Chains A and B, each alone.
Chain A
């Protein structure tokens, strides 16, 4: 009996070893491709900046991290909060939040519309939703610019029909950045929302109607709680890339209204301050992680309280 047990244990150990061996290539790729660069960024953020960009290898300093939040006066070395950085940080978070909210407001009815079409035509609508993805992001952003610039379609039409006298200055404002991001990221909200709405049992909607729930109450009490996974997924998919957006604020914000992505690019480019750029990147990642953690916890708590 003992030998049989030993044999079983041995074969189990071999099984475990085999499994690790077999997954080794995948693990290596994950470490090399995902965690490796991240580690480099983290290390660079603690090094001394080079004179013409780059860093002085293996010379440690917390200057990069310090200047994420603070600045030293060049004359008397007094330390104050880095207003510019904080403004950009705040703008990034706020615009990303607004973009996510608006994408949800516009994406929800869109996804509902598609999910309630007959089965055969749903694919056509989904196809239409994904068409913008075929075009280069830069082109799409310039297209948005064409719509909102002072002599653009929007202003021309508004002036023609007499709603405004002078063109609205939308381009190169925060509003422009938000509109651009909304346009670019809306499909990322619609698709996961549609995925969970497609699974929604519409007989539950009928049951709620039958039980005296008005349309609005059906939405709040039945549809939204049931498609919550889609709402969460869509919000994450829009919020994260919006927070790190680079092209859209660069083109539509006109260089004054920077977001974190632009600030980071600046440090690695003209700013020649790689440690600061690296520290800002890590900060961005931390914000994303904290925001997601809070959001997912809040959202799933809402579901839990029903039961």
Chain B
């Protein structure tokens, strides 16, 4: 990617928090990431993976121990937060309790020294954007959580930042409201054309909203890609495990051709699987298959894998089939239910498993 294209770029960013005495914590470990202009980029990972630290470094609340952070090619790592054209939506919203909704939204512009009339107009515009026109003169304590969320968004968007940082902004909302806000956020990003960097530990949120996702663990970025990439072609065990349900199959590489490999499983069956970028060429590998990328076949029919049906769990929208494969590994298949009824498999019966094309993926580790 050309340097001019990226809105935010982290180059070899390391952040060490000096604890009391010897226990220094490495929150970020040599992170490289390039976030494109006008992109909805998500940092996804469990708590303590460093995603919020990275966000705080971009915002300027903390400074990197090593490395640079570039905004449109310019190093902003040494700048204080109030010198960066970057605004944050906080997890707790952090609305000023002694100001009204309107004063909160206008705060950034006021600090930038914009004329009163301009602030007035911009605040109205923002209120309209988040559909809160009638609440302008309310105190922030007098509005609901969802409304506070919108005010926090409007406040961060009002100064028209180059990049908007969102630190798990939806985590405090209930399920229904969260769904609405996901769509709302996507709309706002589209309408404003601002680069959004979104931090979350919710894989579903990440998959539905993002243009690209960076999966993080223990201060490192493990994989960056589109939601489909990340879900269909996870490159590491952690990524495969963290996002969605996955079947793990152990095997040996029997031969490679381009980005495809033949993998011989414990049962002796040979399947073809995609190779991840930067594959080390080791012999013993783990292959992952998403449960919905495989189907059951009747005994005797052509199949990639074979085994015994151990359990059938009905979930309404779909049914999970738990299979004990011949090699001793367990395997799960998810099939969408249709009104036509199930295929009529019974627990205990010998079944075959048919993998879809490109369903299997070799992991790097």
A-side interface residues toward B, CB under 8 Å?
A: 118, 201, 203-204, 206-214, 217, 221-222, 225-226, 303, 306-307
| Contact among B107, B139, B156 with A307 in the assembled complex (CB-CB below 8 Å) | B139
Top 10 A-B pairs, shortest CB-CB distance: A211-B108, A207-B94, A212-B111, A209-B81, A203-B94, A213-B111, A212-B82, A225-B98, A210-B88, A306-B98
Chain A residue at smallest Cβ distance from B155: A211
Q: Tell me, rounded to whole Å, the shortest Cβ–Cβ distance linking A60 to chain B.
A: 52
CA–CA, A207 and B139, complex, Å: 17
Contact A203 B108 (CB under 8 A): no
Contact A209 B94 (CB under 8 A): no
CA–CA, A203 and B82, complex, Å: 14
CA–CA, A307 and B111, complex, Å: 18
Q: How many residues of B contact A (CB 8 A)?
A: 28
Determine if B100 is an interface residue (Cβ-Cβ < 8 Å).
yes
Determine if B87 is an interface residue (Cβ-Cβ < 8 Å).
yes
Chain A residues positioned under 8 Å from B80 (CB to CB): 209
A-B contact pairs, 8 of them (CB 8 A): A203-B94, A206-B90, A207-B90, A209-B60, A211-B111, A211-B159, A306-B103, A307-B99
Determine if B92 is an interface residue (Cβ-Cβ < 8 Å).
yes
Within B92-111, which residues are at the interface with A (CB < 8 Å)?
Answer: 92, 94-100, 103, 107-108, 111
CA–CA, A129 and B108, complex, Å: 37
| Contact among A203, A208, A217, A303 with B92 in the assembled complex (CB-CB below 8 Å) | A203
Q: A-facing mask of B98-138, CB < 8 A → 1, else 0?
A: 11100100011001100000000000000000000000000
Chain B residue at smallest Cβ distance from A214: B82
Contact A212 B139 (CB under 8 A): no
| Contact among A206, A212, A306, A307 with B94 in the assembled complex (CB-CB below 8 Å) | A206
Q: Tell me, rounded to whole Å, the shortest Cβ–Cβ distance linking A83 to chain B.
A: 46
Determine if B31 is an interface residue (Cβ-Cβ < 8 Å).
no
Determine if B261 is an interface residue (Cβ-Cβ < 8 Å).
no
| Contact among B61, B95, B103, B156 with A209 in the assembled complex (CB-CB below 8 Å) | B61
Contact A307 B100 (CB under 8 A): yes
CA–CA, A306 and B104, complex, Å: 11
Q: Tell me, rounded to whole Å, the shortest Cβ–Cβ distance linking B291 to chain A.
A: 41
Interface centre among A201, A207, A222, A225 (most CB of B within 10 A): A207
Q: Tell me, rounded to whole Å, the shortest Cβ–Cβ distance linking A307 to chain B.
A: 6
Chain B residues positioned under 8 Å from A201 (CB to CB): 92, 94
Interface centre among A203, A209, A211, A226 (most CB of B within 10 A): A211
Q: Tell me, rounded to whole Å, the shortest Cβ–Cβ distance linking B130 to chain A.
A: 16
Contact B98 A207 (CB under 8 A): no
Interface centre among B87, B98, B139 (most CB of A within 10 A): B98
| Contact among A209, A213, A303 with B98 in the assembled complex (CB-CB below 8 Å) | A303
Determine if B59 is an interface residue (Cβ-Cβ < 8 Å).
yes
Chain B residues positioned under 8 Å from A204 (CB to CB): 94, 96-97
Chain A residue at smallest Cβ distance from B85: A212
Contact B94 A213 (CB under 8 A): no
